[in-house]
Amino acid sequence: MIVHAAAQRVLAFVMRQGARPVFPLLLGGFAFVATITQTVPVEWLVVVGALTSGRRWMSVAFCAATGSALAALGLYLAFHHFGWSVLAERYPELTTSRAWVQGTDWLSQYGSVTLFGLMALPLPIPKLPTLAMAGIYRLPIPEVALAIWLGKIVKYFAYAYVATRFPNALRRPVPATRLNS
C-alpha cells in the first residue's frame, strides 16, 4: 500500500515537470532511484514521461535508460564485490531454485548477451537475481555495462515510441467496411 502511494506521488510529480527544459535529465534521475530501490517500475516512468513530454520522447527514453543502466551497473558491481558469501548467507534456498539453475546456465552459455536480452525484454521479470548471478560469475565489467545499457535503450525507446504513437491511433477514424449480406 505504501509503495503504491509512493509510486502515485512520483508519477504525479513527473507529470507536473514535463514542460521543464531539464525534464529528461530529471526523469533519468528518477529512473536511477527507481532501479536502486525497486519501488516504481521504470517502464511506468518512461510511459508517463513520454506522454507528458511527447516531442522529447527520445531524450526521455535515452535519459531513463542511462539512469536505470547506471543503477543496474551499481547493483552488479555490488554483487561483483561482495560475491557469493553474502548472497548465500541471506538467501540459502536461492541456489536450489529452478530460476537460479536456469539463469546460471544461460549466463555460462551466453554471458553478457543474457543480460542484454533480459534488459530488453518488456516483461516484468525480476532482474536483480540475474545481476547477482552475473556479479558472482564476474563477467567483464565493460561488457556488462554495454549489455545492460543497450538492452534498456531498446526497451525504453520501444515503450516511449508506442506511448507517443498510441493516442493518435485512437483518434483516427476507423474506416467503414462493407457488410456482406
Each residue's pLDDT, cut to its tens digit, for the chain (181 residues) gives: 555 666 677 677 777 776 778 889 999 999 999 999 888 889 988 998 998 887 899 999 999 999 999 999 998 888 888 776 766 777 777 767 777 777 788 888 888 898 899 899 887 677 777 787 888 777 889 999 999 999 999 999 999 999 998 866 555 554 555 444 4
Spatial separation of the C-alpha atoms in residues 76 and 81, rounded to whole Å: 9
Grid cell 507517443 is found at 164
pLDDT at 17: 73
Phi, psi of 91 (to 5 degrees): -130, 75
Spatial separation of the C-alpha atoms in residues 132 and 75, rounded to whole Å: 8
pLDDT at 59: 95
pLDDT at 179: 47
In this prediction the pTM is: 0.80
- B/e letters for 15-44, b = 16+ CB within 10 Å, e = fewer, are eebbeeeebbebbbebbbbbbeeeebebbe
